[in-house]
Structure 1
Amino acid sequence: MRSSAAIPLLLAVLLRFGESAADRVLLKDVTAITLNRGQMTTGRRSSPVPQLRCVGGAAQGVYSPKTVQCYNRGSDGSDVQWECKSTMDDRYVLGRITVSCEGYDHPHDPYILKGSCGLEYELEYTSGSGSKTKSTGKQQEEGGFSPLLIVFVAIFAFIVYSFFTNRGDAQNRNDGPDGRDPPPYPGWRPGGGGDGRPPDAPPPYDDGKGTFTQGTSGSTSQSGPGFWSGAAAGAAAGYMAGRAQNSWGSSSTRQRTSAHSSSHQSAGFGGTSRR
């Protein structure tokens, strides 16, 4: 009777031992592991962790590899050494790496839980790519204070100043010394109409054509403000066109860079940590 009751207990122990043996692996016998972005490790004594986790480097948070494969390259006398490879954007490379595995019964157990290994890595820029990116950003930030903008503002200020100065001079010429109209010219008759100013001189006579030619003093005097306003409009149009062209050029450059970015295989080397 007692032997029949002990049989189920023995079967349960054997089943538990079989399950333990299936997920209990000697770490030095592991030759390769494949790790994927967004996947979690297994966990027995502790919680699962991400298979791929960036822990530092200049490019941390900018890019993450999709898949990394790590190979057992032997032991340094204390633990397994790894070489990890990944195909990634050629602007980035793997830095220092550490393969972290969960010890089966304790952190220093030579046996690990199957599927518990993950990779902690640093991500760096390839030579020169980081500095180019920062330099481009700095140039874009400084684009709003270009010399062309300063010239445009100076021209606009000069136009405004000239406008008010010329307007004041014209007012002074039309008025008398005390602010009243000047005295009438000789020969002026009261009630004759007009504003008390002499009539304009007649246009010069052209002997060749037998006609009077129109004077140009009036049009010349009016050409000054028109010229400066036209110059201001031209400067403004040129400035806006330059800004638009620079913006389009920067955008197209970024598009070409992203469209033609190639990939390469990057490798990192490191040891093992236990948890």
Structure 2
Amino acid sequence: MRSLPSLAITALLLITPTTSKGTTKPPGQDAILLSNVQTLTLRDHRMTSSRRVAPMPQLGCTGPSKICDLYQIETMRCTNQGYDYDEEDVQWTCTASLPAEFKLGATDVICEGYRNSNDKWVLKGSCGVEYRLLLTELGEKRFGKSQNRGAAGWASRQTGGTAGYRKTFALLGDLIFWGFFVSVFVLIFWPMIADCFGLRRTRGGRAPGQGWGGFWGGGGGGGGGGYPGPPPPYSPCPDPNASFGRQGWTPGFWTGALGGAAAGYQMGRRGNSGVGSSFRSGGYDAGEGSSRSRSPPRFSSTSESTGFGSTRRR
């Protein structure tokens, strides 16, 4: 008869292989370990597989947005370069063919955890790449250095803050100009409007409309023997019944000066608004105001570019 300790050891040996085997068994037929994946090939305009969450594009550009709008990568190939702290925390190098104006930045592989976002098992076919597209030195010469600041970073925040201040000062300048313009307009034309509607009181025995002859073209005292009687009542208001060329008032110096000042100010504002456009080169504007009829820019010949990234689960 066997002793109790020997029976316990035998039972432990029988249980241990089964338990160990159970820990490596995949939770489903389409569950895989990334440590067993050597390469991934991803294509534009294709979606990943999904089980728990919504699918994602196999290739997604994360910025800067204006550079992403310029060029889209068709195919990318990522290679397993080992792991970091954990065997399933795989590090990747990803390559793609790009024109000489562009280069790859970070390339992170994102996969769907089979049971949850922390599961080491991932769904087969659920991996996609989020990459950053940057400008090379040639691209900066063509499109401007400011485009590489893109997403995050101190320079980008400073640029955004400066632009906000410029907009605020421009708005304040507009308010001051138009307030001054309206004030001058009212000061010049209010006496005439008051005469038209009978709002002015007579001063020194003159009826409304008789005090503007010298300024608006009305008759003054004649030469020679003098003017017999009071001057005719020249009215600053246009007579709707008068024939063409006989109206009492027509636009003169001040109306022309005010109109010219307003037009000149607006032309100056339009000219200044185009000075800061740093994304125009060779007749191409990638901003929101660009014309749809313009053809996309032509790029140099392509070559391989490499980016580096880690693994994330969703």
- TM-score between the two structures when normalised by the length of structure 1: 0.47
Say which one has the larger Rg. 1
Hey, which of these two has a bigger chunk of helix by percent?
A: 1
- TM-score between the two structures when normalised by the length of structure 2: 0.41
